[in-house]
Amino acid sequence: MKQEYSTESEGGGYSSQYATRLKSQVEAELAKLVSELSELRLHPQIEYVVLSEGKRFRPLLLILSAESVGGSRDKVMPLALAFELIHTATLIHDDIIDQDEVRRGRVTLHRKWSVNDAILTGDALIALAVDLASEYGEHMLKTVARSALELCDGEHEDMSFSLETVSEEWYFRKILGKSASLFRAASYCGAFAAGGTPLEVHYLSEFGENFGIAYQLKDDLLDLDSSVGTIPPDLRSPRLTLPLINLYQTCGSAEKGQLKHDLQLLFGPRDSLSLAAAGRIQRILGEAGSMTYCEEKVLEYVRKSIESIRLLKNSNSKSCLVKMAESLIG
C-alpha cells in the first residue's frame, strides 16, 4: 500500500489482538443471545447457523465505526448483532435459491433439516434483528430496513439477467444492493448511534460502501477458483460476476458462442461435460486477463475505502478498519 494509507495510530499502531478480542466478544454475545432463545422450537436450527464460523465483518464494521467517533462498543453491540443476524438470514435464503449443499464447511441448513425449516429460521433471524434494532429508535430501524430491501433487490437482479445485455455498470449496480448496502448501513449506523458528526458519519458510510464493493469483488474471484476436478461455486449457479462479464465483453464472436455454450452446460446437470466446461472457462479467464482485471478493481475499491476515512482522527479503531480493507488484497 502507498504511504498515505499508513495504519499508524495514537495507540502505537494496529493491533491484531485488538480486532481478535473484538471478534471474540461479538461471538460471545451471539452465543448469549442464542442461549436466551432455548425455548423456541427453532432453537437448534438458529444455534446451528448463527454460531457457525464466520468473519463477522458487518458487526465488526459497525462497532469499529462507533469507536472511531468516540462511541462505546457495549452501547452499539445489540445493533451490531442485528446486522449479523440479517446477514445470516440472507445466507440461509441464498443457499435455498442456489441449492447449495455446503456453507462455511458444513452442510447447509435446508439440507440438514428441510427447506421449510430453513425459510422459517431465516424469517426468525430477521424478526430478532428488527427487535434488536428497535432499541435504537425509528431512524435506525428504518435504516436497517432500507438496507435489507436494497439487498433483496440486488439479489433479485442477480437472478434476472441475460448474458447479451449485462454490463459492468449492471454488475456494480447489482452489488451496491446485494453486498455494499449492508456494509454501508452497518458503518453508518455505528457512527450515527455513537453520536458522530455528519462528516464523520459520511466518511464511515463511504468506507462501508467501498469496502462492501471490494469484498464482493474479492469473493467473486475466490468463487471462480477451485481445485482440479471440481466446479467453482460461481460456475455452479446461473449468476454472472465481473470476471465473466469482462471476458464476454472483450472476447471475439467465436469465443462468445463457446462461453455461452459452456455456461449452459454448467447450469444444467452435473456431468463430465460440465466439468470440462468449467475447466475451459477458468483457463480462458486467466489467459484473457479477466481475473487480473477484477483483482485491479479490488485494489481500486480498497484504496477508495481507506481514502474515505483519511480525515478521521487516528485511533486503534480506525487502524483496524484500514487493516480490514487491506486484508482483501492478495
pLDDT value of residue 44? 98
Distance CA 326, CA 104 (A): 22
For residue 151, the Cα-to-chain-centroid distance in whole angstroms is 11
Residue 47 burial by Cβ neighbours in a 10 Å radius (0-12, 13-18, 19+): middle
Distance CA 218, CA 236 (A): 18
pLDDT value of residue 5? 31
Cell of 328: 482483501
**Which amino acid, 223?**
D
Distance CA 125, CA 43 (A): 11
Each residue's pLDDT tens digit, 85-144: 999 999 999 999 888 888 878 999 999 999 999 999 999 999 999 999 999 999 999 999
Give the phi and the psi of residue 107 in degrees, each rounded to 5: -60, 135
- Stated as kind and residue range, the H or E segment containing 124 is helix 115-133
Q: CATH assignment of 12-326?
A: 1.10.600.10
pLDDT band at 183 (very low <50, low <70, confident <90, very high): very high
- Stated as kind and residue range, the H or E segment containing 151 is helix 138-159
**Which amino acid, 299?**
L
Instruction: List, in sequence order, every residue forming a beta bridge with 107; answer none if it has no partner.
Output: 102
Question: Does residue 330 register a pLDDT over 60?
Answer: yes
Question: Does residue 3 register a pLDDT over 90?
Answer: no
pLDDT band at 263 (very low <50, low <70, confident <90, very high): confident
pLDDT value of residue 257? 87
**pLDDT above 70 as % of the chain:** 90
Each residue's pLDDT tens digit, 238-261: 678 899 899 989 888 888 888 888
Q: pTM value?
A: 0.90
pLDDT value of residue 66? 98
Question: Does residue 297 register a pLDDT over 90?
Answer: yes
Q: Where are the domains of the chain?
A: 12-326
Each residue's pLDDT tens digit, 16-65: 678 889 999 999 999 999 999 999 999 999 999 999 989 999 999 999 99
Question: Does residue 266 register a pLDDT over 80?
Answer: no
pLDDT value of residue 2? 32
Q: Average the pLDDT over 206-219 and give the result.
A: 96
Give the phi and the psi of residue 117 in degrees, each rounded to 5: -60, -40
pLDDT value of residue 268? 63
Q: Cβ(64)–Cβ(321) under 8 Å?
A: yes
Question: Does residue 161 register a pLDDT over 70?
Answer: no
